[in-house]
């Protein structure tokens, strides 16, 4: 059992982040004793680690909440994972398209002979 400050330091997250997750219902807030500090269990610490790892993989808090509720339903988790994978693949495709367009635009600057005109600026007008 740890105070919120010690837990935050151990997990390398902000105290306000823990409070935010409490407000969003991702973790429960321990009952505050009459004289003392709230003490957070190892189960809450485990949930916070889960949230951090899921966020690092790009899951939103809403998706993380869903994942936490599907803990024992691998088929549902797989479905959510496949949806996330589809989103990631679409983003990669869009970024590759943007890379190509911007690459062509910057290459046009190399061959530009008009010092009073910029092909990139002209294409954005």
65 is a domain residue:
no
**C-alpha to C-alpha distance for 21 and 28, rounded to whole angstroms:** 8
Q: Which of 59, 78, 102 is at the close of a domain?
A: 59
Record the pTM.
0.77
**C-alpha to C-alpha distance for 43 and 18, rounded to whole angstroms:** 14
pLDDT digits (tens, 9 = 90+) for 19-49: 999 999 999 999 988 888 899 999 999 999 9
44 is a domain residue:
yes
Host domain of residue 82: 70-125
Look at residue 115 in the predicted model and tell me its pLDDT.
Answer: 84
Report the number of distinct structural domains present in the chain.
2
Which CATH number characterizes residue 24's domain? 1.10.1660.10
Average pLDDT, the chain: 93
**C-alpha to C-alpha distance for 89 and 105, rounded to whole angstroms:** 24
pLDDT digits (tens, 9 = 90+) for 49-58: 999 999 999 9
Same domain, 6 and 46: yes
12 is a domain residue:
yes
Same domain, 76 and 52: no
What are the tokens at 59? 């899951």
| Residue 62 confidence (pLDDT) above 90 | yes
């Amino acid at each position: 059992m740890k105070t919120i400050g010690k837990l935050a330091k151990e997990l390398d997250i902000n105290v306000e982040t823990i409070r935010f997750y409490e407000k969003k219902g991702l973790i429960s807030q321990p009952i505050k004793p009459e004289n003392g500090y709230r003490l957070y269990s190892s189960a809450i610490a485990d949930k916070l680690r889960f949230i951090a790892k899921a966020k690092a993989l790009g899951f939103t808090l809403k998706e993380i909440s869903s994942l936490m509720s599907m803990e024992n339903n691998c088929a549902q988790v797989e479905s959510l994972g496949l949806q996330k994978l589809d989103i990631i693949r679409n983003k990669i495709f869009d970024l590759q398209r943007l890379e190509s367009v911007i690459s062509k635009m910057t290459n046009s600057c190399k061959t530009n002979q008009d010092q009073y005109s910029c092909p990139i600026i002209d294409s954005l007008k």
